[in-house]
Amino acid sequence: RDQRHRLQQEPHPLLQALEQVHREEREELRASHRGALRDLGARHDQLWEVQRELFRATRPHRPSEYQQQRQIEREEDVEADLGRQHRAEELTLQHSHTQQLRDLSQRQQQERSHYYTVQAPVQHAAPRWQPS
């Protein structure tokens, strides 16, 4: 009876191993997503720095008030465009990550279902009565 009670409380070692693999897969995918977002942010920062250097290099030395105003407007427009582009890329990346997580969860659920329909009945079957 104690052994049967223990079996009911502790998941089977195969199920524990499967769940551990699933946790590791989810963490690897999350780490990959964090890395991709970091890389996207770094690319955006680098692009913005290049654009700032270009602005500095192309500014007139003694601009008129009109030239100064036009330069400010151009820089603001470029900054807004870069921000929109970055946000669009970030959203695309997030949608991709969401789909990858959904696919992973679905596959893992199928693996768990397979375990419960194939493996669990064999592992947890009651001992057969044998005549003495």
Name, in order, each residue with C-beta under 8 angstroms of 71's C-beta and a sequence gap of 6 or more: 55, 59, 60, 63
**Residue 128, pLDDT score:** 53
Name, in order, each residue with C-beta under 8 angstroms of 82's C-beta and a sequence gap of 6 or more: 44, 47, 48, 51
SS3 state of residue 114 = helix
**Residue 8, pLDDT score:** 60
**Residue 2, pLDDT score:** 58
Angstrom distance (rounded) from CA 65 to CA 49: 25
Tokens 């695309």 -> residue: 92
Mean pLDDT of successive 10-residue segments in the chain (132 residues)?
60 88 96 96 95 88 89 93 96 96 95 82 55 55
**Residue 10, pLDDT score:** 78
Angstrom distance (rounded) from CA 21 to CA 4: 26
- In the chain, the amino acid numbered 45 is D
Angstrom distance (rounded) from CA 122 to CA 116: 9
